[in-house]
Structure 1
Amino acid sequence: MEISNLAPPTFKSLTTPTAVSMADCGAKQTTKITDTTANICTSLRSFSDVAVGAPELFRVTELLQLDLALSVKTVTEVQEMMTTNVT
């Protein structure tokens, strides 16, 4: 393919997203993190109920819940920073 056959690049106009769209994005990410972690925790709890004497699995579930809390906090902080910087 020759260079002369290539179409010129097209550029979309760059606009700053509004605070609302960033907040909405943060909320969607928080929901995704919450849902995923809740599903994993539920699965691990079910498995640990079946597997007698598996305290390690219960501990993993607790760690996932702590990780979820930190993830939600981080997403919320980023969301607040974006909203503050845009407005």
Structure 2
Amino acid sequence: MRHKLNRDFIAAPLLATLTLFAAPALAQDAEADNERCRANPDADTNQGRLARKLDDCDGILKPPKVGDTEMVEPAPDTGTTPLIRPEDLPRQQ
């Protein structure tokens, strides 16, 4: 009985440690899958390659990344937007 009790005390921390190290590895695989399953509008549309990609991604392709990543100028400061007050407008007839 004592031998089994010692084995359980060793097995539990060992299992917890292995689980702790396995989680980041699984997360890295998920990130790779996310990029692998992202649609690329510039890629060739070879039917065999596309079918294989759909099979690997369970038929779900994520849309390509969009946004203003290629924006050269920064957005204008919001404090410099011109303001026209109603009393500054010419009177209408």
Greater C-alpha Rg: 2
Fold shared by both chains (TM-score > 0.5): no
User: Which of the five TM-score ranges fits, normalised by the shorter chain?
Assistant: 0.3 to 0.5
Q: Which has the higher helix share?
A: 1
Higher RCO by CA contacts (8 Å cutoff, separation 6 or greater): 1
